[in-house]
Amino acid sequence: MPRCSKRTRSGAAELLPGATSLDDHTHKRSRNSRRHARADDTTFSAKKCLAWFKEYTTLSEPEVLGPEGMEKFCQDLGVDPENVVMLVIAYKMGAKQMGYFTQEEWIKGLTELQCDNVQKLQNKLEHLRGLLNDPHIFKAIYRYSYDFARDKDQRSLDTATARALLGVLLPRWALRPALGEFLARGRRYRVVNRDQWCNILEFSRTVDAQLVAYDADGAWPVMLDEFVEWLRTEREQRPRTS
Write out the H or E segment, with its range, that includes residue 180: helix 176-185
Eight-state DSSP code of residue 99: T
Phi, psi at 169, each rounded to 5° = -85, -35
Crossing angle of helices 194-206 and 222-237, in 10° steps, is: 50
Q: What is the pLDDT of residues 75-105, one digit of tens each?
A: 999 999 999 999 999 999 999 999 999 999 9
Q: What is the pLDDT of residues 118-172, one digit of tens each?
A: 999 999 999 999 999 999 999 999 999 999 999 988 899 999 999 999 999 999 9
What domains can be seen in the chain, in order of their start residue? 45-133 (1.10.238.10), 150-237 (1.10.238.200)
pTM over 0.85, yes/no: no
Eight-state DSSP code of residue 241: P
